[in-house]
Amino acid sequence: MSKKTLQIGTIFLLFAVMLGAFAAHGLQSLIEARQIKTFETAVRYQFYHGFALLIVGILGHWYASKFLQYSAWAFSIGILLFSGSLYLLACREVLGIASWTWLGPLTPIGGVFFILGWAFLFISLNKKK
């Protein structure tokens, strides 16, 4: 699990860099400033939780814990729902998906998964032998 977690974290970080560069250089002329800010929030949280996945993966080398696995899953789902929904919400006019009103509720659900990820990480550290 730890190697896969490290790989997934690295992929999320790779895409965070690419999406951040895209926001800085490619989106300026396509979307409004407040939408850029939303996009940048998505990138920032993807970075935070991509690094969290690296931490979980590294910890997984020292000890196995089902709560570490839960943490990795929660962080990954959180990135997909929280950051993914914000990317789409920021660019929905450009993408032609302005009518996708169901995207909005995905953001806080993703935030709950981030919270769960940190809680599972905390629990796993307290269960360490």
- For residue 28, the model assigns a pLDDT of 83
pTM value?
0.93
Query: What's residue 128's pLDDT?
Result: 58
Band of residue 101 on the pLDDT scale cut at 50, 70, 90: confident
CA distances from 101 to 15, 21, 30, 92, 98 (A): 25, 27, 21, 10, 7
Residue with tokens 């950051």: 83
Q: Chain-wide mean pLDDT for the chain?
A: 93
Per-residue pLDDT band at 115 (split at 50, 70, 90): very high
> What's the pLDDT tens digit per position in 59-78?
998 888 899 999 999 999 99
- Report how many domains make up the chain: 1
Flag whether pLDDT at 129 surpasses 80.
no
Q: Give Cα separations from 27 to 19, 52, 93, 117, 121 (angstroms).
A: 10, 27, 12, 31, 35
In this predicted structure, the answer to whether residue 108 has a pLDDT above a threshold of 80 is: yes
Q: Which residue has the tokens 């009518």?
A: 99
pLDDT tops 90 at residue 29:
no
Domain that holds residue 109: 2-126
Which H or E run contains 84? helix 84-90
Per-residue model confidence (pLDDT) at position 85:
97
